[in-house]
Homo-oligomer: A and B are copies of this chain.
Amino acid sequence: MVDIATRVYNHKWKIDPIIRSLIDTDFYKLLMCQSIFRNSRNTRVTFSLHNRSKDIRLAELIDEAELRQQLDYARGLKLTRGESTWLRGNTFYGKRQMFRSDFMEWFEGYQLPPYELEIIDGQFHLTFEGPWHEVMLWEIPALAILMELRSRAVLNTMGRFELQVLYARAMARVWEKIEALREIPGLKIADFGTRRRHGFLWQDWCVQAMVEGLGDAAKGGAFTGTSNCLIAMRRDLEAVGTNAHELPMVYAALARTDAELREAPYRVLADWHEEHEGNLRIILPDTYGTAGFLEHAPDWLAGWTGIRIDSGDPITAAETAISWWQARGEDPREKLVIFSDGLDVAEIKALHARFAGRVKVSFGWGTLLTNDFRGLVPGDGLAPFSLVCKAVSADGHPTVKLSDNPEKAMGPAEEVARYKRVFGVGAQQPRAVVV
Q: Which of A1-9, A256-264, A358-366 contacts B (4 or more CB under 8 A)?
A: A1-9
CA distance A159 to B160 in the complex (A): 26
Mask: chain A, 185-218; 1 = CB below 8 Å from B; 0 = not: 0000000000000000000000011001100000
Interface residue? A175 (CB, 8 A)? yes
A328 is an interface residue with CB less than 8 A from chain B: no
Is there an interface contact between B175 and A171, defined as CB atoms closer than 8 Å?
no
Is the CB of A93 closer than 8 A to any CB of chain B? no
Report, as a range, how many residues of chain A touch the other chain.
Answer: 20 to 34
Judged by a CB distance under 8 angstroms, whether A172 is at the interface is yes
Report the minimal beta-carbon distance from A198 to chain B, rounded to whole angstroms. Answer: 15
Residues of B within 8 A of A167 (CB): 168
Q: Which of B3, B162, B171, B212 contacts A6 (CB 8 A)?
A: B3
Q: Kindly state whether residue A169 has any CB partner on chain B within 8 Å.
A: yes
Q: Which residue of B lies closest to A9 (CB)?
A: B1
State in angstroms the CA–CA spacing of A193 and B151 once bound together: 36
Contact with B along A1-22 (1 / 0, CB 8 A): 1110110010000000000000
Q: How far is the CB of A382 from chain B (nearest CB, A)?
A: 15
CB nearest neighbor in B for A7 = B1
A165 touches B175 (CB 8 A): yes
B3, A161: Cβ atoms under 8 Å? no
CB pair B3–A212 under 8 Å, yes or no, is no
Q: In the complex, are the beta carbons of A165 and B161 less than 8 A apart?
A: no
Across-interface contacts of A175 in B (CB, < 8 A) = 161, 165, 168
Select A1's contact among B6, B162, B212, beta carbons within 8 Å: B6
Kindly identify which residue among B161, B168, B169, B209 contacts A208, using a CB–CB cutoff of 8 Å.
Answer: B161
- A121 CB → nearest B CB, Å: 37
Report the bound CA distance from A203 to B104 in whole Å. Answer: 54
Whether, in the assembled complex, A428 has its beta carbon less than 8 Å from a beta carbon of chain B, the answer is no
**A42 at interface by CB-CB < 8 Å:** no
Residues of B within 8 A of A164 (CB): 171
Q: Is the CB of B172 within 8 A of A212?
A: no
Assembly CA distance A180 to B14 (angstroms): 40
Which residues from chain B contact A159 at a C-beta distance below 8 Å? 212
Q: CB distance B161 to A209 under 8 Å?
A: yes
For A6, what are the chain B residues with a Cβ–Cβ distance below 8 Å?
Answer: 1, 3
A161-B1 in contact (CB<8A): no
> Which chain A residues in 152-190 approach chain B with CB under 8 Å?
159-162, 164-165, 167-169, 171-172, 175
B9 touches A161 (CB 8 A): no
Give the Cβ gap from A280 to chain B, nearest Cβ, in Å.
31
Flag if B172 contacts A168 (CB, 8 Å): yes
| Closest-CB distance, A435 to chain B (whole angstroms) | 23
CA distance A159 to B159 in the complex (A): 29
Minimum Cβ distance to chain B for residue A8 (Å) = 11
Interface-centre pick from A6, A172, A213 (highest chain B CB count, 10 A):
A172
Inside 8 A of A3's CB, which chain B residues have their CB? 1-3, 6
Tell me the complex Cα distance, A175–B165, Å. 7
Q: Which residues of B contact A209 (CB under 8 A)?
A: 161, 165
Closest to A179 in B: B165
Q: A161-B208, A161-B213 are in contact. List 15 more A-B contacts (CB 8 A).
A: A2-B3, A3-B3, A3-B6, A159-B212, A161-B209, A161-B212, A165-B171, A165-B175, A165-B209, A167-B168, A168-B169, A168-B172, A168-B175, A169-B172, A172-B172
User: 28 A-B pairs, CB-CB below 8 angstroms?
Assistant: A1-B3, A1-B5, A1-B6, A1-B9, A2-B3, A3-B3, A3-B6, A159-B212, A160-B212, A161-B175, A161-B208, A161-B209, A161-B212, A161-B213, A162-B212, A164-B171, A165-B171, A165-B172, A165-B175, A165-B209, A167-B168, A168-B168, A168-B169, A168-B171, A168-B172, A168-B175, A169-B172, A172-B172
